[in-house]
Structure 1
Amino acid sequence: CAPAASTAARGAGPAPVSTAARWAAFGCVLAPVVLVVYGASAGGVTWVAPVLAAVTGICRLLLRRAERGAAGARCAAGDVPR
């Protein structure tokens, strides 16, 4: 089996992991802004963006790992997408 190609490489649109990562990055920027707008101090929310970015990065790695594992299982079963 060839290495698993993402759906973006096959031309079927953006990969689900990339789309999720983009939304998560948007949330990392939006969350501190919303907290400040609703009354939290700017100094008090300085930790929010880096923590959310770290969680986003970890989740992205786990999603990629799961995607590769699923592709490997499909390959081993002989169910290769065309």
Structure 2
Amino acid sequence: MPSSRTPSPSRPGDERTTDLIRWAAFSCVLVPVVLLWYGTSLAGAAGTALGLAAVTAVCRLLLRQSERGAARSLPGNHPPPAHHRGRHQRTGTGVHRGGRHSGGNSPVG
């Protein structure tokens, strides 16, 4: 019998990310239950659950942002605008800008 869940044409890595988030959410429930089983206080287990949920939410956000960035860099998409170098298009430090130099360590020939 064919599966009722058919993969939809979505962003690359979307299914793996979804599975990862599901496992993380499962851990957010499982870890406090195990802590309670081994005698940790209810407040300690609740604090752990909240901490794990916060970390999971941040990781999910970063994964989604990374996927969007990867989708933008696929062939056919326009590259991001070039970085502006600043005033007078200078790069580097003052050593290579020209002008007078002190004698320094260079030999005189």
Give the structure-1-normalised TM-score: 0.71
Tell me which residue corresponds to 2:83.
none
Post-superposition offset of 1:43: 2.6
Post-superposition offset of 1:69: 0.6
The higher-RCO structure (CA 8 Å, 6+ apart) is: 1
Tell me which residue corresponds to 1:4.
none
* Percentage identity across paired residues of the two chains: 49
Q: Does 1:51 align with 2:62?
A: no
Q: How does 1:1-82 map to 2 (within 5 A)?
A: 8-10=7-9, 15-75=15-75, 76=77
Instruction: Please list the CA deviations of residues 8-65 of structure 1 after superposition, one character each: whole Å capped at 9, or x if unmatched.
Output: 4317xx6121111111110000010111112212232221111111111110010000
Letter in 2 for 1:10: P
Say how many residue pairs are matched.
68
Unaligned runs of 5+ in 2: 1-6, 79-109
Letter in 1 for 2:8: A
Tell me which residue corresponds to 1:3.
none
Q: The residue matched to 2:73 in structure 1 has which SS?
A: helix
Give the structure-2-normalised TM-score: 0.55
Tell me which residue corresponds to 1:80.
none
Q: The residue matched to 2:74 in structure 1 has which SS?
A: helix
1: distance between equivalents of 2:44 and 2:27? 18
Work out which of the two has the higher radius of gyration on C-alpha atoms and give 1 or 2.
2
1: distance between equivalents of 2:61 and 2:35? 27
Tell me which residue corresponds to 1:5.
none
